[in-house]
A and B are shown apart, each in its own frame.
Chain A
Amino acid sequence: MRRVVYFLGAYKRSVTLLFALFLSMSLYLMGDGQKEHIARTVTTAIFNTGRFTFSWAISLGDLWRENRRLRLQNLEYAYEIQTNRLASSENEHLRRMLGFREKYPHEIIPALVIGQDVDRAVNALIVDRGSRDGVKKYMAVVTDEGLVGRVFEVYPTASSVQIIRDTNSRISVMIEGERAVMGIVRWEGGTNLRMYTLEQQSDYTPGQRVYTTGLGGTYPEGLLIGEIVIPPQGELRVYDSVEVRPAVDFSRAHEVFILSGSEQSDIWDDNDGDGYFQRPELQ
């Protein structure tokens, strides 16, 4: 064995040559079919090796193209989602309108809030519907959440809505429950309203809802004002009062509904200061 290794080491060039010649002659003397087969196998192996070696570059190109395609697709989907959201919002709006139509017998005039009133003495919103759209003074204005206020100035293409969180606002209300507790809601500053009632030691609980009674004719019956947030202290007083959190977030009210046919007023003004309160004229 050692001799063989020594021989191979000493004559490695000749041995290699003999090996190469033997292999070449074997290939040369093969039949045509076998030659074809070997050639095809080697060619395939070379192509596969080349493809494997350069596949990363091809993959990189494919990856770049796929990335570009996905980016474009992503943009299309983003646009589609935006469109769907708008459609969903519109659908929601229409559903609300439908719900209102079923709930209230009045004709509904949908309106968009386009601004706040510049008169700081009055808490008011400006909506994009006016006398041309059939809006009249003292019409109740609501959202799907509850009562917003009432129209107090009408222009041809816009109206000013006095919200219930205004010092001049007085609303006849009742608290939901087995025994309806009635009272008047007004605003005395802050974020909440205050309800005054003649009932004493009433068993109010936070979360109880407060609705319009429809008395006085200003607002239709059953419009949600808000809910009780602070229970009474239990002190013996002539007037009992309770805080009411408005159901409507006035800063976020973008779409409102004007209830046509609810245009009456229970606010009697003493404009001339003669001590006689007069019911305002309906317009």
Chain B
Amino acid sequence: MKIIRNILIIAVALLLQSTLFGSVTIAGIRPDMAMLALLLLATWSGPVEGILYGFFIGFIQDVYSPENLGSNALTMALLAYLLDVVKERLTVEQYPVKAAVSIGACLLHDIAYLSLYTRFDGPLMTGMFFPESLLGAVYTTALFIGLIAVFQWIRDGGFFYVLEGLFRDR
């Protein structure tokens, strides 16, 4: 059941990436929905599943640009592994820590991906990294924190409190 849920999350994230968030931008910056899906799945899954999901998400992204096939798969798998290491070493319960981890993951992904994409062309990579990657990391992190908060609120029963309040006799 979890697998279906996780595959659905990946599918929705990639669909949103290629449709809604492809045109809705803030100052020309788009959030990385694939990264967002990876952050969520890495938070909820174990180490092996996280790496496999990372590889899978990256691979699907690669399929859309086959000239760089494998680069996203590699960086996402690596990132899933690092996220699991961080999760093991640090307590990432608090929102600031989550945000820091998210920003770090986004930047690391972009560095690794752009390195492979530009074939380690430093100036080109720097030009592509600033400012898109930095702002994109903030945008993605904001969405990630928001989503986590919503999920947490639902899990804590907040949603049902609201429903109960709506239907309570006055």
Contacts and interface: CB of A to CB of B under 8 A. Distances in A.
Contacts of A23: 55, 70, 73
B74 A28 contact: yes
A42 B63 contact: yes
A25 B84 contact: no
B154 interface: no
Identify which of A24, A26, A30 gathers the most chain B CB atoms within 10 Å of its CB.
Answer: A24
Contacts of A28: 68-71, 74, 116
Nearest to A30: B69
Counting chain A residues whose Cβ lies within 8 A of the other chain, the interface size class is 20 to 34
A29 B69 CA distance: 9
Identify which of B47, B67, B69, B77 gathers the most chain A CB atoms within 10 Å of its CB.
Answer: B69
A26 B70 contact: yes
Interface string A121-161: 00000000000000000000000000000000000000000
Grouping DSSP codes into helix (H, G, I), strand (E, B) and loop, the B interface class, with mixed when no group exceeds half, is helix
A27 B73 contact: yes
A16 to B, nearest CB: 5
B62 interface: yes
B62 A21 contact: no
A30 B66 CA distance: 10
Nearest to B81: A17
B16 interface: no
Given A20-B77, A21-B74, A28-B116, A38 B47 contact: no
Interface of A: 12-13, 16-17, 20-21, 23-30, 32, 35-36, 38-40, 42-43, 46
6 contacts: A23-B55, A27-B73, A28-B71, A36-B66, A39-B63, A46-B63
**Across chains A and B, which 8 residue pairs bring their CB atoms closest together, nearest first?**
A27-B70, A28-B70, A24-B74, A39-B66, A20-B77, A13-B47, A24-B73, A20-B55
